[in-house]
């Protein structure tokens, strides 16, 4: 079983963390990425009636046919990441997401810290946040690459890959891994994949319906709704830190939120509220509340009891990465623009 780290103190006084005594570590690789969610585009296919609830798939899924492989340093051929069953792949993504999210240093999420990443000489600021975002970007890129990167695939084969990722996203949703759900849905709705009309025509109506449901869930499960729902609402209202922690641990349900929602909120607070005497006090109070919510979710992320599979993680980490420009170029080659 995967060893769990000790839970951080809950609902602690986080105000000292807003002004750390030591500077942010600058020796980890940094990544540039917008904290806000990408602009949505219409999801292909017909959607379900309002209020449709997704049911976790209990039956094991057959692997998605995909001929591409990845070679290791020892010339060993590894299967493509999409050949793993949806539930297994969703569990491995959840383990990776949860591990990164638990390690996020909360003060790095502050707009005054995270906002420095675009400044010259501050490219490596907030390394734990950057690591989480880099993984999110890699997953989204992995989805895009698996759909576009193999020219030997026929339209039907490409449609099966799309269907496979939809199944993975549904399994991630059943695991409360909202970060991976958002990454997969964002990739499938991105222009390079969304414009492949022949591919989407070959995707089953059932899968298109599931994707539309996922798009609704992805839009609905935002920071405020996540915190105000169920056990999190009760836990955030607890005045006793130990009692709040015990309440979350008794739920035995892991959660990985989409960190971008919290980064967006903290950036908005830093930009909107002035740093005068009154404004600074109001800003700090609101920032502490958001960080405490993140801290609670970090405790919940420790509730996962999943078995890691090294081969799956290796395949994911070694998968080819395409740039946005390369992805769009490949998309146009597969289905040229109509004249």
Flag whether 69 is in a domain.
Answer: no
106 vs 108: CA distance, rounded Å: 5
108 vs 127: CA distance, rounded Å: 8
Beta-bridge mates of residue 256: 177
Q: Please say if the pLDDT value at position 337 is more than 60.
A: yes
φ, ψ for residue 330, nearest 5 deg: -65, -40
Flag whether 189 is in a domain.
Answer: yes
Confidence of residue 300 (pLDDT cuts 50, 70, 90): confident
CA distances from 217 to 171, 177, 268, 337 (A): 13, 12, 24, 31
The C-alpha angle 164, 169, 171, rounded to 5 degrees, equals 95
pLDDT tens-digit profile of 26-68? 233 322 333 333 344 444 444 333 333 333 333 344 445 444 4
Contact status, residue 219 vs residue 64, Cβ threshold 8 Å: no
Q: Please say if the pLDDT value at position 255 is more than 90.
A: no
Flag whether 64 is in a domain.
Answer: no
Identity of the highest mean pLDDT range in 70-79, 121-130, 255-264: 255-264
How high is the pLDDT of residue 188? 96
Percent of the chain with pLDDT over 70: 65
pLDDT tens-digit profile of 152-209? 899 999 999 999 999 999 999 999 899 999 999 999 999 999 999 999 999 999 999 9
CATH code, domain carrying 149: 1.10.840.10
Dihedral, 337, 143, 126, 314 alpha carbons, nearest 10? -140
Flag whether 39 is in a domain.
Answer: no
pLDDT tens-digit profile of 195-242? 999 999 999 999 999 999 999 888 766 665 565 554 455 455 555 656
11 vs 14: CA distance, rounded Å: 8
20-52 as b/e: b if 16+ CB within 10 A: eeeebeeeeebbebebebeeeeebbbeeeeeee
Percent of the chain with pLDDT over 90: 41
CA distances from 53 to 171, 173, 179, 181, 213 (A): 13, 11, 19, 15, 8
Helix (H, G, I), strand (E, B) or coil at 72: coil
DSSP label of 121:
T
Instruction: Give the residue numbers spanning the domain of 316.
Output: 81-334
Q: Please say if the pLDDT value at position 137 is more than 60.
A: yes
Flag whether 228 is in a domain.
Answer: yes
The mean pLDDT value for 315-323 works out to 88
Flag whether 63 is in a domain.
Answer: no
Q: Please say if the pLDDT value at position 105 is more than 80.
A: yes
Q: Please say if the pLDDT value at position 73 is more than 70.
A: no
Q: Please say if the pLDDT value at position 260 is more than 80.
A: yes
Tell which wins on pLDDT, 85 or 12. 85
Flag whether 73 is in a domain.
Answer: no
Q: What is the number of domains present in the chain?
A: 1
Flag whether 19 is in a domain.
Answer: no
């Amino acid at each position: 079983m995967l060893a769990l780290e000790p839970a951080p103190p809950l609902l602690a006084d986080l105000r000292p963390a807003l002004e750390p005594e030591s500077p942010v570590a600058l020796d980890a690789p940094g990544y540039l990425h917008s904290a806000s969610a990408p602009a949505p585009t219409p999801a292909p296919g017909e959607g379900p009636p309002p209020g449709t609830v997704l049911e976790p798939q209990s039956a094991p899924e057959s692997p998605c046919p995909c001929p591409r492989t990845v070679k290791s340093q020892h010339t060993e051929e590894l299967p493509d990441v999409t050949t793993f069953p949806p539930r297994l792949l969703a569990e491995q993504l959840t383990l990776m997401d949860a591990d990164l999210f638990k390690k996020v240093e909360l003060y790095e999420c502050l707009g005054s810290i995270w906002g420095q990443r675009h400044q010259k000489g501050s490219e490596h600021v907030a390394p734990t946040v950057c690591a989480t975002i880099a993984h999110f970007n890699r997953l989204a890129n992995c989805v895009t690459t698996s759909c576009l990167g193999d020219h030997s695939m026929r339209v039907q084969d490409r449609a099966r890959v799309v269907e496979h990722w939809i199944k993975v996203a549904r399994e991630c949703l059943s695991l409360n891994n909202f970060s991976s759900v958002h990454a997969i849905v964002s990739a499938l709705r991105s222009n390079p994949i969304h414009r492949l009309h022949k591919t989407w025509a070959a995707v089953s109506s059932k899968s298109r319906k599931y994707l539309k449901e996922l798009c609704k869930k992805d839009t609905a499960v935002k920071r405020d709704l996540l915190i105000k729902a169920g056990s999190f609402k009760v836990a955030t209202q607890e005045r006793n830190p130990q009692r709040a922690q015990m309440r979350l641990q008794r739920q035995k349900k892991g959660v990985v939120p989409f960190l971008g929602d919290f980064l967006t909120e903290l950036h908005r607070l830093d930009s909107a509220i002035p740093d005068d005497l009154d404004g600074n006090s109001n800003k700090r109070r609101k920032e502490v509340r958001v960080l405490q919510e993140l801290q609670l979710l970090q405790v919940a992320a420790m509730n996962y009891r999943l078995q890691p599979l090294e081969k799956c993680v290796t395949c994911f980490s070694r998968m080819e990465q395409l740039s946005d420009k390369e992805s769009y170029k490949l998309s146009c080659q597969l289905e040229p623009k109509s004249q």
